[in-house]
Amino acid sequence: MTRAIATESRPSARARAAAERARSALGDRNAAFDDRWLRALSGASRERVDAVRAELAELVPYEQRIRAEQRAGGRSYYAQFRAPLELYALVRLLAPDHIIETGVSSGVSSTHFLLGLRENGRGTLHSIDLPLSQRGSRFSSRESPVVLPPGRQSGWAMPPELRAGWDLRIGPSEKVLPALVDELPSVRIFLHDSKHTPAHLLFELRTVRPKLSRGAVVIADNTVWTGAAFPRFAREVGAPVRRRRRSDLVALTVP
């Protein structure tokens, strides 16, 4: 069932506290909610952003479950995607029919997209992942935290009930993304979090571009490794690059 966004006239303190509870339950100090970034990307008013921010208190049990699952998988720290709460809020504000993300790993970003879609009562998340597997039975800190624990699949830390209706495609985005984009009428949110090379990022962005609707939000993580690729795409589209605080997580809104 769709839930409308409930705005209040003086909401900020309650909204801030809700986001902080969710962040703390997830256990990542980098996940502090950036309302300015979100307003710049969505064009939503402060009141609307505060209203979805206040909803984040309801995510606390999910954040706790993700964290517990990651710990059980030998990851004592969280280091996957630093703006999961903003992903939830973006989905609530934009009410997308189709979201594409590349790079799933344990499923932190996927979980937050799916929670937003569930609240909206509509829309589909299409995710692409080419997972790597942990070498031994115990996770070694010398390995990348994105590897799958033995016997687990992409999205392994997600609450399993969220998988219903999730379009997860396993394979290299080089192959899977063009076919997926062909199938969809339009894309409202695109998140790149897969192979972080300049050529690959540009390939993904240019592949999805023909289906990006006006107002679509395009996000790319770890752009410290992808050089000029994102700013170049932003110039092609004619949009400013919106950096999340001083990090290398960047985004733009299609004009």
Ligand X SMILES: C[S@@+](CC[C@H](N)C(=O)[O-])C[C@H]1O[C@@H](n2cnc3c(N)ncnc32)[C@H](O)[C@@H]1O
Which residues of the chain form contacts with ligand X (CB under 6 A)? 80-81, 102-109, 128-132, 146, 172-174, 193-195
Give the nearest distance from C-beta 128 to ligand X in angstroms: 5
Pick 13 or 179: Cβ nearer ligand X: 179
Helix (H) or strand (E) run with residue 191 in it: strand 187-192
Pick 172 or 231: Cβ nearer ligand X: 172
Long-range contacts (CB closer than 8 Å, 24 or more residues apart) made by 169-172:
169/126, 169/127, 169/128, 169/129, 170/128, 170/129, 170/130, 170/131, 171/128, 171/130, 172/130
Q: Which of 84, 82, 6 is nearest to 50 (CA)?
A: 6
Give the nearest distance from C-beta 84 to ligand X in angstroms: 7
Q: Which residues contact 217 (CB under 8 A, 6 or more apart)?
A: 41, 42, 90, 94, 188, 189, 190, 251, 252, 253, 254
Q: Which of 172, 137, 129, 174 is nearest to 153 (CA)?
A: 129
Give the nearest distance from C-beta 104 to ligand X in angstroms: 6
Give the nearest distance from C-beta 156 to ligand X in angstroms: 10
Pick 48 or 112: Cβ nearer ligand X: 112
Rounded CA gap, 2 and 234, in Å? Answer: 33
Give the nearest distance from C-beta 238 to ligand X in angstroms: 27
Pick 91 or 128: Cβ nearer ligand X: 128
What is the side-by-side order of every strand in the sheet holding 250-253?
Answer: 167-170, 124-129, 98-102, 187-192, 212-220, 250-253, 242-243
Pick 90 or 104: Cβ nearer ligand X: 104
Pick 48 or 230: Cβ nearer ligand X: 230
Give the nearest distance from C-beta 91 to ligand X in angstroms: 14
Rounded CA gap, 199 and 196, in Å? Answer: 9
